[in-house]
Structure 1
Amino acid sequence: MATSDPTVKESPAVAETGVGTDTILQTRDLRKQFGGLTATDDVDFGIEEGELRCLIGPNGAGKSTFLKLLTGRLEPTAGTIYYDGEEITDLASHERVSRGISIKFQVPSIYPDLSVRENLRIPLQRVEQPSEFDRRTAEILDRFHLAETADETASNLSHGQQQRLEIAMAMTLEPKLMLLDEPVAGLSVEETREIAELLRTINDEDDVAFIVIEHDIDFVETIADRVTVLHQGAIFTEGTIDEVRDDPDVKRIYLGEEQ
């Protein structure tokens, strides 16, 4: 926690993301190399509490590598990750989850042979007393429009329903920050609209910050507060969706529009 004693120097983690700051996550000089390939190149990236940030860029830009560095699935070659007043660079994935970072990758990580209700009870066991399971499960089923499929085997759900179920499972842990990798890949137009509404509702009502990797620029336009563009492993530009869409260099490298 931040100290009020001016003679005591704050740690970099507290100075970057602690009490008195709006920033919940900040990376400094974050780099990942695979042999001679630099996949993430000295990235300084910050996101504020309650912000919904989209991360875009052409294939090979380093987006997935960056997300895996944030989740702890990859160890950085160099650099630092600060989160909520603490340095988490060397923390394992499950330790980051316990500190309020929820993760959802592109392919749903649900338990296909269990029912929707049983899937929700697994993360609930980490945060609720058994006496609260039924009440909390009912609340979550209702909120995420899964009540009608509560006793359905998860493998029988549509792709869109599976995506919604995994987001619901992540939200049972009451995260401060959620990381999503292409949450609408393979979804219909209607399912994409539903996921967009769901993310905006969670962001508004629960004050959860989001980092969303996404290729669908129309979806990004619907949900993003700000957009970060990665190119060749580095941050190319950041801004509102309008600023990014109107940038001629972004059009060239990402949208494929030659000037």
Structure 2
Amino acid sequence: MSLLGVRGLTRDFDGLRAVDGVDLDIGEGEVRALIGPNGAGKTTLVGMIAGRISPTAGRVTFDGRDITHMPAHRRMRLGMAYTFQITSVFAGLSVVENVALAARRRARGAAVGSAVAAALDRVGLADRGAGMAGDLAYGHQRLLEIAMGIVQRPRLLILDEPTQGLAEGEIAGFGRLVRDLAGETTILLIEHNMDVVMALAGRITVMDAGRVLAEGTPGEIHASRAVQAAYLGNGNDAAAR
């Protein structure tokens, strides 16, 4: 059964069609990767799924419910969490305070503290809780934002470029985290690092010029000539990492 369904989703900006009639189904418990060259429409599509961008046309359903015109905060209450392509942590608050703010959407009282501690431990920031979020390196801010997502115990976790700014060891840790989370939540992963995509995703959706170019398993996508021409070929796979 599909947890997330998208039908004919379209978005125009001043006469430019950024997303053009996209259909997408993501099943409960799936790890789905969304890839494509810069300007393919990935972030705009995800913005419409999360309720941060209004579609020009089309429909979004979540667990069988039409949420096309539902604001982002109400989608969060239904069980969506979205980490941004650019970090959105509160720089003037501590690491613990950032995660606690997110935790309070789901937990109350003493449960907040235990949920925060568990989330920070899972992303490898347990020893940095007292520090200011603004003092973290960029890669650690990315991990903090992931902690803010998972502490909400979402049914759908949308991760937009989560490995950007992470060191190799941190990327390996991120991979372990996603494998661990896969048993708890559905994950939509927007990612340029193809090693990460191929290792973690059960299925991959490829966008190009606002449309879905291809969809399939990592092996099918790797073998697709259309995908190679648009994205993976001519050295683009190395450049996209």
TM-score, normalised with respect to structure 2:
0.92
Aligned length: 235
Deviation at 1:161, TM superposition (A): 2.1
2:233 aligned with 1:256: yes
Render the CA deviation track for 1:175-201: whole Å, top value 9, x for unaligned. Answer: 000111111112222221111211121
Deviation at 1:151, TM superposition (A): 0.6
Taking the aligned partners of 1:115 and 1:201, their CA distance within structure 2 comes to: 26
Rg: which structure is higher?
A: 1
2:231 aligned with 1:225: no
Residue matched to 2:220 = 243
RMSD over aligned Cα atoms: 1.5
How is 1:69-148 mapped onto 2 (pairs within 5 angstroms)?
A: 69-148=48-127
Change in 2 beyond 3 A, CA 1:42/1:100: same
Residue matched to 1:171 = 150
Q: Secondary structure at the match of 1:151?
A: coil
Taking the aligned partners of 1:245 and 1:88, their CA distance within structure 2 comes to: 33
Range that drifts further, 184-193 or 89-98: 184-193
Deviation at 1:142, TM superposition (A): 2.8
Deviation at 1:133, TM superposition (A): 2.7
Residue matched to 2:175 = 196
Task: Give, as a single letter, the amino acid of the residue that structure 2 aligns with 1:137.
Answer: V
Change in 2 beyond 3 A, CA 1:192/1:143: closer
Render the CA deviation track for 1:21-80: whole Å, top value 9, x for unaligned. Answer: x10000111111123221111111010001000011112211111011111111111110
Task: Give, as a single letter, the amino acid of the residue that structure 2 aligns with 1:223.
Answer: L
Any stretches of 5+ residues in structure 2 without a counterpart? 236-241
CA contact (8 A) 2:140 2:166 kept: no
Task: Give, as a single letter, the amino acid of the residue that structure 1 aligns with 2:113.
Answer: D
Change in 2 beyond 3 A, CA 1:198/1:237: same
Deviation at 1:170, TM superposition (A): 1.1
Residue matched to 2:131 = 152
Q: Secondary structure at the match of 1:252?
A: helix
Task: Give, as a single letter, the amino acid of the residue that structure 2 aligns with 1:76.
Answer: P
Q: Secondary structure at the match of 1:126?
A: coil
Taking the aligned partners of 1:187 and 1:143, their CA distance within structure 2 comes to: 16
CA contact (8 A) 2:139 2:164 kept: no
Residue matched to 2:2 = 23
TM-score, normalised with respect to structure 1:
0.86
Taking the aligned partners of 1:143 and 1:249, their CA distance within structure 2 comes to: 38
